[in-house]
Structure 1
Amino acid sequence: MGKLKEKYFKQGIAEYAKRLSKFCKFQIVEVPDEKAPESLSEAEMANVKEKEGERILDKIKDKEYVFALEILGKERTSEEFSKELEQLTTYGHSDITFVIGGSLGLSPQVIKRANTHISFGRFTLPHQLMRLVLVEQVYRAFMIQQGSPYHK
């Protein structure tokens, strides 16, 4: 959800995207977030998440294997994550999508569509920073598969 505005995040992500190009076709699809005031009722929050969820689901194809990033997802080590990606690609899931929600999180529809749920810990991180962390971890996963010293 949302666009990156900060130059330093863009630069970091661009660096990892360049590195990832050796291993996969890497693409970021940005979906506009729903404008919302600071204080929302439960119903208004649900409405915002639903609208954002529809935008996300419009971008996901049926064949894609989807990781929903959410605080309640399963935590993995970098090695476990690497092995999981390796197994997915080995057994026919070459289109893998990671979904990072907006400031209110993911809609129930997106969570339901996801094949798996992943957490990078119980901290709340801005989506811009989470995007950088995710891209680095995907790169790290490939480096682990290569036996590279990068992971050390």
Structure 2
Amino acid sequence: MKVQICAVGRLRTGPEKDLLDDYLTRFERSGRALSLGPCQMLEVEDKKGGGMSAEAELLGSIIPDGAHICALDERGKLMSSPDFAQFISTLRDDGCRDLAFVIGGADGLTPNLRNRANSRLSFGKMVWPHMLARVMLSEQLYRAASILAGSPYHRV
């Protein structure tokens, strides 16, 4: 199952990009034997200043056809790491070919894009910077693959 992280804004060189690249590389190595990955980072920029609706349109254009869309949203479902691993495993086992995680810009996602999502995921009641949310998601993808592989990375 291919994974896409569809996000607003460009992640520039720096510690967040280094962490993102590291966790995505780890995910691809761990996930390969589990039929998970590769994971592709897809970024869009609203250069014309059209706001959330323009961002939603740009995001919609990069989501693969037929993908299971999981919106990262503060109103989404809270999951433990093992629950997240099970969520990914179930999608894969049910024949999902593409899983697209959608991360909005500073103002979040439009209601239309949130409603289009098949599922919603929250990293808690706190609001996180959207650039940091990418890193957190990539780490959880790696952790999920590690859990599914029976690796000791995730300790309970």
Q: Same fold (TM over 0.5)?
A: yes
1:31 pairs, out of 44, 64, 77, with: 44
Between 1:110-119 and 1:2-11, the stretch displaced more is 2-11
Matched, 1:113 2:116: yes
How far apart, CA to CA, are the structure 1 residues paired with 2:24 and 2:14?
Answer: 15
Runs of 4+ in 1 over 6 A off after TM superposition: none
TM-score (norm: length of structure 2): 0.86
Q: Distance in 2 between matches of 1:124 and 1:35?
A: 25
| Structure 1, unpaired ranges of 5+ | 37-46
- Aligned residue among 15, 21, 29 for 1:8: 15
Q: Distance in 2 between matches of 1:34 and 1:85?
A: 33
Partners of 1:74 and 1:21 in 2: CA distance: 25
Q: Please give the root-mean-square deviation of Cα atoms over the aligned residues, in Å.
A: 1.3
Larger strand share, 1 or 2: 2
Per the alignment, residue 27 of structure 2 pairs with 20
Pick aligned residue for 1:48 from 34, 42, 51: 51
Extract unaligned runs of 5+ from structure 2: 1-7, 32-36
Question: Distance between the aligned counterparts of 1:62 and 1:109, measured in 2?
Answer: 17
2:3 aligns with none
Cross-structure match for 2:154: 151
Equivalent position amino acid for 1:147 in 2: G
Q: Return the alpha-carbon distance in structure 2 between the equivalents of residues 35 and 133 of structure 1.
A: 29
C-alpha distance in structure 2 between counterparts of 1:122 and 1:35, whole Å: 31
Deviation, 1:90, is 0.6
Question: Aligned pairs, how many?
Answer: 142
Query: Structure 1 vs Structure 2: percent identity of aligned residues?
Result: 37
1:11 aligns to what SS in structure 2?
helix
Shift of 1:11: 0.7
Select the structure with the greater relative contact order (CA < 8 A; seq sep ≥ 6). 2
